[in-house]
Structure 1
């Protein structure tokens, strides 16, 4: 049944069921945002599934991590975006997953997080991979150093200074990586709660944080102008607001704050909630200086669910079906486009040029070669897109799918696909 449903969605171009206005926004303006697939690779296809991706600043390489099994981390050559190719796979222990991977600010280094898959797993928290910094090469990488961060789901290297920020259960961890072979822990900052993800805006010296519980559920902005001693600049708490179970399907709830990212050209941010079962989470658009909001007082001004949002049942194979996930924001002239790795929706684009009126415009079901993929059987079939990462240097977007690997897209401000 699910296979038939997703095949139909792909053939129809992802016609929206909830929260979508097709080709015209609620204010009567034509919507923009098109996805054009340039290339795809299943990579080495280990069992267990791919995870987060990243794109190097020059747009020549991409990364993706892995979940269960010995998949490890993958360096992908995207110099020819129509033919992305695996350069290396650095396996990890079957007891450890690598949910997040990020390029460092120094050439030839990247970071991969470690979390246990078993109770007796041995791991360092974060590994620093040399693929051209010292003795390692792109084809033959080495593990150069570690961060003693314990179980770590996500991280973000400071874009200009030798520090790495990690997600901790008591705030944002800061590590000094001036010498990648001899790193040191600086401390934790921000709310003493369970931090889920971090994105740093280097132009404004702000880190955008999603706290998912453990004392605080909500969106936090931290000033990182002093990268070793960050300070909270503003926050928005979900406490006391309606959860998704409190509102009709497709309407705005506040629960399980999962991921926050910023518009590089305007003072807005997009914050996503992840709900595994029941009514799926969506995207909140925050005013952090665009209108009445500010960094010190972020205000939610827009909301959108995934385009085909429906109730997620209790069947394990329906886990995360229609919740949104990790996203990026692409600014092109007067247009802002939100692109998401939206799990079973695949890659999704919204026009958020009017942040009070986000409109779904296009999607691509990331299920290429799904019939050949081993994938994470516990999550059902492709598409199962994890995240989207935009590279401004080459105007490319890389989407990682847990089942089917890495995709390279061109996201353009052309007229909505459904208008053709």
Structure 2
């Protein structure tokens, strides 16, 4: 999601739009679990086949979904009745090697959307990104196609520049492309590349499963690059033609990874240490979230398990400091073949962390004091939903989360909407000194692996910030 849209989305806007007959009604909380209050559940959802990533357009009224074979635009102006505005499937089916497959990501920058694929290597398949004009989300218009010699699990789109994870070519570089030049069919739209191998050629010999550019985020001229076991790098891309590394936040050195056997590579790719999967800056760029996607491949040791989210103070980019680690929810079977509760995609916006944990549900944190995050609320239904991402829509009103059926778990492929509270200026505490939803009768550390200590956690703050009924009443008052 283009970070330039965060401040615009933060502004609260009047809710509008009519409920479409194709939209599902608000989902009953009886089918899920919310800590502290049993009647909390999603405000609404709309099922969309193939759903993976979700990103929110400027203003918070439109959400774009990657749908594995294409994309969809969803109207969430009424979060109780989200509706599909448009779908595009079987992209580039008329090209050699087409159609485009494994479309797991989309990104939006103003009125343009990029749709990349495939997310993983494919034999003789098309590798490309399609650029769309979405000034009218109900009628996307194709602007350009950028065919590549690499696959790209994720991309980023910011201030007119497309940032690709160029995996499958030497060095697995960050590849930067001028979207305007691409749209005008300029002969050389590529602006520049950067790889850890530019700093140390030993990276060229490291196996791809433990050295791939899995995800990236760009803000204020700094790119955060999650390179799995190779770690997370901050790179100055203010001049894309001459990128410069700033710091390596964490990660393994190439010498430790080069000579791994095939079995050792498999274990390292699935278990900590490493597994730097997702990165995101907060609004002002001073806080970096780093998500770790991992499992327990060897139950006979203590090395594995679901990965959480680390929060780094990067207000001085050259000296990142780990300030807090949020642990993942637990599961009876934490192997790749078991129940997935590891961290997946998330967003830092408006002092909050919107996080997804696959079958472990969604969690919303107050991170205005990142050294001591407060869990405002969570919801899960492990048989029904497996969340790919959680994203801010209108902070203080509602957020969105996409649910996927990644490995034929039988979970719903849909976009969900959730209520959220308006944080008070004192850091989420009420007059009595307790956080919204805290239960004075609770007895200390949570036992669910959330990594949060303190009194019991309630639903998204203050009984869901006045409660769902009051939230809906306030919405009607605004209308």
Shift of 1:227: 4.3
Shift of 1:225: 2.5
Q: 1:188 is matched with which residue: 182, 189, 193?
A: 193
Contact 1:190–1:222, Cα closer than 8 Å, also in 2: no
Contact 2:329–2:342, Cα closer than 8 Å, also in 1: no
User: What residue is the counterpart of 2:178 in the other structure?
Assistant: 176
Change (3 A) 1:273 1:116: closer
Q: Does 1:130 align with 2:133?
A: yes
Shift of 1:84: 1.1
User: What residue is the counterpart of 1:206 in the other structure?
Assistant: 222
User: What residue is the counterpart of 2:361 in the other structure?
Assistant: 346
Deviant stretches of 4+, over 6 Å: none
Shift of 1:228: 4.5
> How many Å separate the matches in 1 of 2:364 and 2:396?
19
- Which structure has the highest helix share of the two? 2
- For structure 2, the residue ranges without an aligned partner over 5 or more in a row are 1-28, 94-98, 198-210, 257-263, 265-270, 298-304, 405-411, 429-435, 439-456, 464-479
> How many Å separate the matches in 2 of 1:394 and 1:366?
24
Q: Does 1:91 align with 2:105?
A: no
User: What residue is the counterpart of 1:55 in the other structure?
Assistant: 56
Q: 1:197 is matched with which residue: 211, 215, 230?
A: 215
> How many Å separate the matches in 2 of 1:300 and 1:148?
39
Structure with the greater alpha carbon radius of gyration: 2
Q: Does 1:80 align with 2:82?
A: no
Q: 1:233 is matched with which residue: 224, 241, 246?
A: 246
- Which structure has the highest strand share of the two? 1
> How many Å separate the matches in 2 of 1:208 and 1:117?
21
| 1:237-282 superposed Cα distances (whole Å, 9 cap, x missing partner) | 3227x9xx9xxxxxx9542100111122472211011014441111
User: Could you state the TM-score of these two structures normalised by the residue count of structure 1?
Assistant: 0.72
- For structure 1, the residue ranges without an aligned partner over 5 or more in a row are 1-6, 16-22, 24-34, 246-251, 368-380
How many residues align? The count is 342
User: What residue is the counterpart of 2:152 in the other structure?
Assistant: 152
> How many Å separate the matches in 2 of 1:305 and 1:236?
19
Shift of 1:36: 7.2
User: What residue is the counterpart of 1:300 in the other structure?
Assistant: 322
Shift of 1:120: 4.5
Q: 1:41 is matched with which residue: 37, 40, 46?
A: 46
User: What residue is the counterpart of 2:380 in the other structure?
Assistant: 365
Change (3 A) 1:116 1:236: closer
> How many Å separate the matches in 2 of 1:359 and 1:393?
16
User: What residue is the counterpart of 1:255 in the other structure?
Assistant: 274
Change (3 A) 1:297 1:36: farther
> How many Å separate the matches in 1 of 2:173 and 2:233?
11
Mean Cα deviation higher: 389-398 or 264-273: 389-398
Shift of 1:14: 4.3
Contact 1:96–1:121, Cα closer than 8 Å, also in 2: no
Contact 1:366–1:401, Cα closer than 8 Å, also in 2: no
> How many Å separate the matches in 2 of 1:113 and 1:314?
26
User: What residue is the counterpart of 1:390 in the other structure?
Assistant: 392
Q: Does 1:113 align with 2:116?
A: yes
Taking the TM superposition and a 5 Å limit, the aligned residue runs for 1:260-271 are 260-265=279-284, 267-271=286-290
> How many Å separate the matches in 2 of 1:301 and 1:359?
14
Change (3 A) 1:77 1:9: closer
Contact 1:38–1:82, Cα closer than 8 Å, also in 2: yes
C-alpha RMSD over aligned residues: 3.2
> How many Å separate the matches in 2 of 1:268 and 1:8?
36
Contact 1:124–1:146, Cα closer than 8 Å, also in 2: no
User: What residue is the counterpart of 1:377 in the other structure?
Assistant: none
Contact 1:275–1:281, Cα closer than 8 Å, also in 2: yes
Shift of 1:395: 5.4
User: What residue is the counterpart of 2:13 in the other structure?
Assistant: none
Change (3 A) 1:138 1:269: closer
Helix, strand or coil: the match of 2:196? Answer: coil
> How many Å separate the matches in 1 of 2:402 and 2:237?
29
Shift of 1:174: 0.5
| 1:321-369 superposed Cα distances (whole Å, 9 cap, x missing partner) | 11011111132xxxx32111210022112333332333434212267xx
RCO higher in 1 or 2 (8 Å CA, sep ≥ 6)? 1
Helix, strand or coil: the match of 2:32? Answer: helix
